[in-house]
Homo-oligomer: A and B are copies of this chain.
Amino acid sequence: MKAVVYKEPFKVAVETVPDPAIQHPNDALVRVTSSAICGSDLHMYEGRTAAKPGIVFGHENMGIVEDVGAGVTTIKKGDRVVLPFNVACGFCKNCVAGYPGFCLTVNPGFAGGAYGYVAMGPYTGGQAEYLRVPYADYNCLVLPQGKEHETDFILLADIFPTGYHGCELAQVSPGETVVVYGAGPVGLMAAYSALLRGASRVFSVDRVKERLDKAQQIGAIPINFDQGDPVQQIKDQTDGEGVDKGIDAVGYQAVTQGAKKEEPATVLNALINTVRATGMLGVPGLYVPTDPGAPDASAKQGLLSVAIGRFFEKALRMGTGQCNVKRYNRQLRDLIISGRAKPSFVVSHELPLEQAPQAYEKFDKRIEGYTKVVLHPGA
């Protein structure tokens, strides 16, 4: 089959690789109809990870079930399904406790697995014509037949739940004020989710006008942090109090005002100052324990200089970690079906699989409006 294969830093190619097959009674084989490119794919693409050439990318996948193993009970050929980026077993201690993102079974020696990602287990990515899905009964979310909502549903694989997860970690509740740092795809999904959950006001902080425009379109209040300290801008709009809850959708590659330099803790520390005493921080966006490209020796080991003194004084709480997609994807699917959510507003491009190389290049450079690309194998 055709698949997007990593060749070397800044280079992927669409090549022919072996077809996947049912390997285990609980597997399903899915013909991929959509597979999105994620910002985290760029980490591998840029060569900032240990990913080896030859890996097939793609952890945001959906498609049509082609075949299932003898142990599969509720999923059948022809089902239209979307797959959480997390590969999970459904029965280990963490899965049962509601943390499938930290499955103890699928990637021995580590808590958590994923498709097409370095160190996340032997699961080939879905930027390809076919995908093997382990524990199919658990990992497949069935969708309505047909082609409707394809670009909404594909976002259920990762970024819509991930944005929502930020709100869940911060326990965003009706009537609250919320800040979301970052208005990239995940940040927009977080702001959108905060509004879906009934927040009274959502501040969206970024430095890119197009992103802030999108935030405003969905009902958030844009804050351009290149035009002044975002903490002060938000305090000015909240009687000096700050917001109830805050979400970090930027992560460790945060930059200072004017993008002068990378400063990995700058968003975390801004959040600590923006959120009022007794508030909560949800941190879906990504921090890593080893980052060879970090600006200093501590940060290379994931040690960041955090304003813990202020954090404590304000009695803040913080939740972190990658999203447990299965915890939310059913409910978010139902919001899409009922017409109350339409997350596809973040999708900038739909392309055939063959155009993946150009898509990676332009997305990596953030040019020509490439913000969220959905690939359609076989299209």
Contacts and interface: CB of A to CB of B under 8 A. Distances in A.
A303 B313 CA distance: 13
Contact of A302 (B169, B197, B308): B308
Nearest to A317: B319
A226 B81 CA distance: 39
Contacts of A74: 89, 91-92, 105
A289 B303 contact: no
Contacts of A319: 315, 317
Given A91-B74, A98-B98, A290 B306 contact: no
A311 B317 CA distance: 13
Interface string A77-116: 0000000000001111110111101100100000110000
Given A91-B138, A322-B315, A174 B26 contact: no
A201 B334 CA distance: 9
A105 B198 CA distance: 28
A71 B73 contact: no
Contact of A175 (B290, B305, B308, B332): B332
B315 A99 contact: yes
Nearest to A332: B175
A348 interface: no
A25 interface: yes
B304 A288 contact: no
Interface size class of A (residues with CB under 8 A): 35 or more
A252 interface: yes
Contact of A90 (B90, B286, B310, B340): B90
Interface string A184-201: 000000000100111011
Nearest to A337: B200
Interface string A50-94: 000000000000000000011101100000000000000111111
A298 interface: yes
A29 to B, nearest CB: 16
A302 B298 contact: no
A308 B304 contact: yes
A330 interface: yes
Contacts of A71: 24-26, 69-71
A10 interface: no
Interface string A111-144: 1100000000000000000000001011000000
A316 interface: yes
A245 interface: no
22 contacts: A25-B26, A25-B71, A26-B26, A26-B71, A70-B70, A99-B315, A169-B317, A174-B335, A197-B197, A200-B334, A286-B312, A287-B308, A287-B311, A287-B312, A289-B307, A291-B309, A304-B305, A304-B306, A306-B306, A313-B321, A316-B321, A317-B317
